[in-house]
DNA sequence: GTAGGGTTAG
């Protein structure tokens, strides 16, 4: 009896290994079929079986698919454990469903399943990414208080979160602290640091950390180089960025679409469409799964080439492939339509976006405002601006420039002051346009008000 | 199961 029990356990373990391999390879259907066969043969699935399937479903189809697996496991008399909840929380985090993640964590506590460091990590990650650093810090404190030891992932998540919250200096200090006390530092830590330092404008520090990485036993990977590439493009080191890409390509180190999308969009921005097209071909041929970012990059290229029909054809292919257009897709299309002078169509695109219940898309609106200003329809642009829930530096820069171009300096100065009062800013060229316009028109009072508003804004920022 | 990619102003 004991012997057959042990044999059954072994078989379940083998089945789990098999399921995990199928899930990893993306053959979810075959994994499900294996489970059906196993049950028919009298082989009982355990919590690991269901957790494996759950993680795969969650990743492929989202949180609801994961919850459906929980339902199935309960029906089979298997109780969810910490890994089950961790996968669900991670699934919620991936799709930015912060409230769901918090609810799942609560449910975990209520059902008496003790959270481990993974649970806390996933929750912290989710809170940082959704812009709630204070809550993330609280989760960390809670974790320490409960006696759950922070792992390497916890520290990496914290470093990334500090950068995202705008605390680059604190992140840097924490990194040095981890090194000093001998806490685990690996390639993920280095990549997080290099990316965070680059994005917060501390390129010198980024270079220093990169050099340090070269002296460790940790090998830089494709993620390290993609980060460096992006940093080069950002700081006008185009050739160096392209070289980085080429060395990745020639070395055969590219295993997904990330480096392609990075280099293609940089090329499109430079107007080097032939090379962009060549790398699109390579990306498609490479056999990497094309996700939203890839399609958006391809659509953007077509739009910038003025091939709107091709762009919409790509959109159709993307949607038929089961991908949903997102905020990037819409901004890219609205921008493309605007640049081709099809402002009415762009407005319609924004309408359909609103109908779909998409979050207010600042970028798409900004493109429309810019296009209206460029065709001297500033009053229409102002009307659009008033309908926007969220405005940013781009919104006001376009409008202020547009108003100056048609000589409406009083109105331009009014919007410049509103903008500064809201804590936004405009490009220096827009400020100069307002000031020189007011001066030439002799609007002394407006000039005084704008100067004082600019001075106040500078004080508040420093 | 923590790190990298995609959109807008001059």
Decide which of A366, A390, A414 is a domain's last residue.
A390
CA of A284 to C1' of B5 (A): 15
| Residue A327 belongs to a domain | yes
Q: Please write the tens of the pLDDT for every residue from A144-157.
A: 999 999 999 999 99
CB A437 within 8 A of CB A409: yes
| Residue A306 belongs to a domain | yes
Q: How far apart are CA A370 and CA A289, in angstroms?
A: 35
Q: How far apart are CA A342 and CA A368, in angstroms?
A: 10
CB A118 within 8 A of CB A155: no
Which residue range is the domain that position A433 belongs to? 392-462
Residues A385 and A419 in one domain: no
Residues 54-93 on chain A lying near strand B, CB distance under 7 A: 55, 86-87, 89-91, 93
- Quickly count: other Cβ atoms within 10 Å of residue A221's Cβ: 14
| Residue A385 belongs to a domain | yes
Whether the beta carbon of A333 falls within 7 A of nucleic chain B: the reply is no
| Residue A136 belongs to a domain | no
| Residue A25 belongs to a domain | no
**What is the total count of domains within chain A?**
2
Residues A410 and A356 in one domain: no
Whether the beta carbon of A375 falls within 7 A of nucleic chain B: the reply is no
Decide which of A390, A416, A438 is a domain's last residue.
A390
Nucleotide nearest to A432 (CA to C1'): B10
Q: Which nucleotides of B are covered by protein (CB under 7 A)?
A: 1-10
Give the orientation angle of helix A187-199 with respect to helix A222-234, to 10 degrees. Answer: 10
Residues A400 and A441 in one domain: yes
Q: Please write the tens of the pLDDT for every residue from A166-188.
A: 999 999 999 999 999 999 899 99
Q: How far apart are CA A78 and CA A381, in angstroms?
A: 59
**CATH number of the CATH domain containing A340:** 1.25.40.10
Tens place of pLDDT for every residue, chain A, 462 residues?
A: 566 666 666 678 888 887 888 777 667 778 888 888 888 888 888 898 999 899 888 877 778 888 889 999 999 999 999 999 999 998 888 877 889 999 999 999 999 999 999 999 999 999 999 889 999 999 999 999 999 999 999 999 999 999 999 999 999 999 999 999 999 899 999 999 999 999 999 999 999 999 999 999 999 999 999 999 999 999 999 999 999 999 999 999 999 999 999 999 999 999 999 999 999 999 999 999 999 999 999 999 999 999 999 999 999 999 999 898 999 999 999 999 999 999 999 999 999 998 887 877 999 999 999 999 999 999 999 999 999 999 999 999 999 999 999 999 999 999 999 999 999 999 999 999 999 999 999 999 999 999 999 999 999 887
Backbone φ and ψ of A111, nearest 5°: -85, 10
Nucleotide nearest to A328 (CA to C1'): B7
Whether the beta carbon of A98 falls within 7 A of nucleic chain B: the reply is no
Residues A385 and A399 in one domain: no
Whether the beta carbon of A188 falls within 7 A of nucleic chain B: the reply is yes
Residues A309 and A375 in one domain: yes
Residues A403 and A384 in one domain: no
For residue A453, what are its two tokens? Answer: 């508003």
């Amino acid at each position: 009896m004991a012997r057959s029990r042990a044999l059954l356990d072994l078989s379940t373990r083998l089945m789990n290994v098999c399921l995990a391999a199928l899930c990893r390879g993306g053959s979810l259907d075959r994994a499900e079929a294996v489970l059906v066969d196993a049950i028919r043969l009298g082989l009982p699935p355990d919590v690991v079986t269901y957790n494996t399937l759950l993680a795969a479903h969650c990743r492929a189809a989202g949180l609801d698919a994961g919850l459906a697996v929980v339902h199935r496991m309960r029906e089979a008399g298997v109780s969810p454990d910490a890994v089950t909840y961790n996968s669900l929380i991670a699934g919620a985090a991936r799709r930015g469903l912060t409230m769901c993640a918090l609810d799942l964590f609560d449910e975990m506590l209520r059902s008496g399943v003790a959270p481990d460091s993974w649970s806390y990590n996933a929750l912290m990650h989710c809170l940082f990414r959704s812009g709630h650093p204070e809550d993330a810090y609280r989760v960390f404190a809670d974790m320490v208080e409960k006696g759950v030891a922070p792992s390497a992932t916890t520290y990496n998540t914290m470093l990334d979160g500090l950068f995202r919250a705008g605390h680059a200096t604190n992140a840097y200090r924490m990194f040095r602290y981890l090194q000093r006390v001998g806490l685990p530092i690996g390639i993920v830590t280095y990549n997080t640091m290099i990316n965070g330092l680059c994005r917060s404008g501390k390129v010198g520090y980024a270079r220093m950390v990169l050099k340090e990485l070269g002296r460790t036993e940790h090998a830089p990977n494709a993620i390290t180089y993609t980060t460096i590439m992006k940093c080069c493009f950002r700081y006008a080191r185009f050739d160096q960025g392209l070289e980085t890409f080429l060395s990745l390509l020639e070395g055969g180190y590219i295993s997904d679409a990330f480096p392609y999308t990075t280099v293609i969009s940089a090329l499109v921005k430079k107007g080097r469409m032939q090379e962009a097209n060549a790398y699109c071909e390579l990306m498609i041929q490479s056999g990497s799964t094309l996700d939203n970012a890839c399609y958006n990059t391809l659509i953007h290229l077509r739009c910038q080439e003025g091939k709107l029909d091709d762009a919409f054809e790509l959109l159709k292919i993307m949607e038929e492939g089961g991908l949903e257009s997102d905020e990037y897709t819409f901004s890219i299309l609205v921008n493309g339509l605007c640049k081709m002078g099809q402002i009415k169509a762009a407005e319609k695109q924004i309408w359909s976006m609103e109908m779909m219940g998409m979050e207010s898309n600042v970028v798409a609106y900004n493109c429309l405002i810019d296009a209206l200003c460029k065709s001297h329809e500033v009053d229409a642009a102002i009307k659009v601006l008033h309908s926007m829930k969220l405005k940013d530096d781009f919104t006001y820069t376009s409008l202020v420039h547009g108003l100056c171009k048609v000589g409406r300096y009083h109105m331009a100065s009014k919007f410049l002051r509103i903008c500064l009062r809201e804590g936004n800013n405009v490009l220096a060229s827009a400020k100069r346009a307002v000031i020189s316009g007011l001066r030439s028109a002799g609007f002394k009072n407006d000039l005084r008000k704008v100067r004082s508003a600019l001075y106040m804004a500078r004080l508040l920022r420093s």
